Structure 1
Amino acid sequence: MNSTRHEEFRAYVADRGPTLLRAAMRLTSDRAEAEDLLQAALAKTYLAWDRIHDRAAVDGYVRRAMANTQISWWRRKKLDIYPTDQVPDRPVDDHTRRAEMRDALGRALGRLPERQRLTVMLRYYEDMSEAEIADVLGVSVGTVKSTVSRAMARLRDDDALGDDFPGIPRQPRGATPWNPRHD
């Protein structure tokens, strides 16, 4: 019975997950928050799975759980905001600028050779260790280190980035990057 419940729920999520994620995106307008919101709603749905007798109503249950969770998160966040006459020391988060930076980084990564792009993605996006990457790619750890190093040097290079990152200081050619462990 319990394994049937797991399989049934797993099949539901596999089938309806993308549609529900789009609904979560409309509620949050941020992919990371949308994924968190959907996961929270699916966790609530899983706990109530045996009580939902009409399987056609599951989407409505999940959407209602997302809406309630979003409202709860909004109320909690609202309590952290206090009116003041002073301007904050830190700049306000600029979602548009972050989106532009993410797009520019994607373009810069797209200009890297395939092997360099793959190692950078595995290292920094998938957070894999050099040994794990070496195992996946079937190369030595030294090859992974040198490939990532060359890719990062190319990304730091003015020519590789072009004008995609205006306002961000770039490392001059031939300069050694600052390393806090060496100070």
Structure 2
Amino acid sequence: MNVAAAFERFVRQPHTYALTGSTNTGVAVTATLTIAQGLSTSSRGRAYDVTSVTMQLRNSSGAVVGSGTASPWFLAGTVDQAFVATSDGTCAVTSSGTKLPTSASVGQNGPYVTATEYAGCSTLDNVRGPISSGTRTQTWSVNSIEGGTYACLHTSRVDFFTTTESDCVQVVDARGNLGGGVRVTLKDANGVTTTLSN
């Protein structure tokens, strides 16, 4: 499977996914995952493609119980992630990165991005260093989920607490073309795990 191509299709094309699931404490939830490509931008003499990824969680009554947006910046024409701004007011600046593979099989995994997080920033031009608020580590994997093949991106954020997120998208062929399946797993600072899929 071409993991790089699958991820590029995931973040470069508009998608809206309706997801259902529950927490490990037995609470039923639904979610909407929306991906939209933003405008290209430039910073420090380099060009970037920006994507917006928004997740909104609702309880069984339909009330919003959580939402957030992450806006990753990729070096123009690539999926080499350089920066991420989030709706909680933090940002992550990549300190080291590895290109996603163009060929991988189920069970394989590897590193993607290691980043330093800062508070109170929204672009590369207003990062408030040098004091960091935490770290962000991302890895990739190819998984078999309920008989389908999925490319997954796993994110771990460590500041005062540790939170994790896994975003998996169905891939239907070796070229990285996407199917309709998505699975998202979130673990918050209290240890509550939420699993959602369509």
TM class by shorter chain equals under 0.3
Structure with more helix by fraction: 1
Structure with more strand by fraction: 2
The two structures have a TM-score, normalised by structure 2, of: 0.22
The two structures have a TM-score, normalised by structure 1, of: 0.23
Higher relative contact order (Cα pairs below 8 Å, separated by 6+ residues): 2
Larger Rg: 1
